């Protein structure tokens, strides 16, 4: 009996059938979907959650904005990054992320200065 699944090799089919047999033998709840899209097992299979909203800003825009303030920083330097058109927390997050990529984890400390509408970044490592 050759019931090979679509677009798979015979060894893939054998491995899948063996996995299903093991799970059934253990009497554990499981869900597995084969290459034909057929569900095996008793667990419910939910559809992946799809993001409904788009990006607030184009990919990389905030990090590009923040990056121009950071490249020449030495340990002990402080830079002020204006919020510009971004939310304070977004600028702070991008500054921390960019510094992490440039100098490693824990390389800067940041604070939001709402009075001056800027994020202050101190390089510590």
CA angle 81, 83, 84 (to 5 degrees): 110
Average pLDDT over residues 41-51: 86
**Does a structural domain hold residue 4?**
no
**Does a structural domain hold residue 99?**
yes
Same domain, 65 and 117: yes
What's the pLDDT tens digit per position in 57-107?
999 999 999 999 998 999 999 999 999 999 999 999 999 999 999 999 999
**Mean pLDDT over each residue of the chain, to the nearest integer:** 91
**Does a structural domain hold residue 51?**
no
Residue range of the domain that includes 36: 10-41
- In angstroms, the CA 117 to CA 48 distance is 39
Average pLDDT over residues 26-45: 91
Do 96 and 105 meet the contact criterion of CB atoms below 8 Å apart?
A: no
Same domain, 67 and 118: yes
**Does a structural domain hold residue 49?**
no
**Does a structural domain hold residue 55?**
no
| Domain tally, the chain | 2
**Does a structural domain hold residue 85?**
yes
Do 31 and 44 meet the contact criterion of CB atoms below 8 Å apart?
A: yes
- Greater confidence (6 vs 17) lies with 17
pTM value surpassing 0.75: no
Please tell me the predicted confidence (pLDDT) of residue 41. 93
């Amino acid at each position: 009996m050759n019931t090979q699944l679509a677009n798979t090799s015979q060894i893939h089919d054998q491995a899948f059938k063996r996995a299903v047999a093991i799970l059934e033998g253990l009497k554990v709840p499981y869900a597995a979907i084969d290459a034909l899209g057929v569900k095996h097992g008793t667990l419910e299979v939910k559809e992946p959650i799809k993001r409904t909203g788009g990006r607030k800003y184009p990919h990389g825009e905030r990090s590009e904005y923040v990056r121009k303030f950071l490249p020449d920083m030495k340990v002990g330097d402080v830079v002020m990054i204006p919020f510009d058109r971004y939310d304070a927390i977004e600028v702070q997050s991008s500054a921390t992320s960019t510094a992490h990529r440039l100098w490693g984890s824990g390389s800067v400390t940041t604070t939001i200065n709402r009075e001056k509408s800027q994020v202050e970044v101190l390089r510590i490592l």
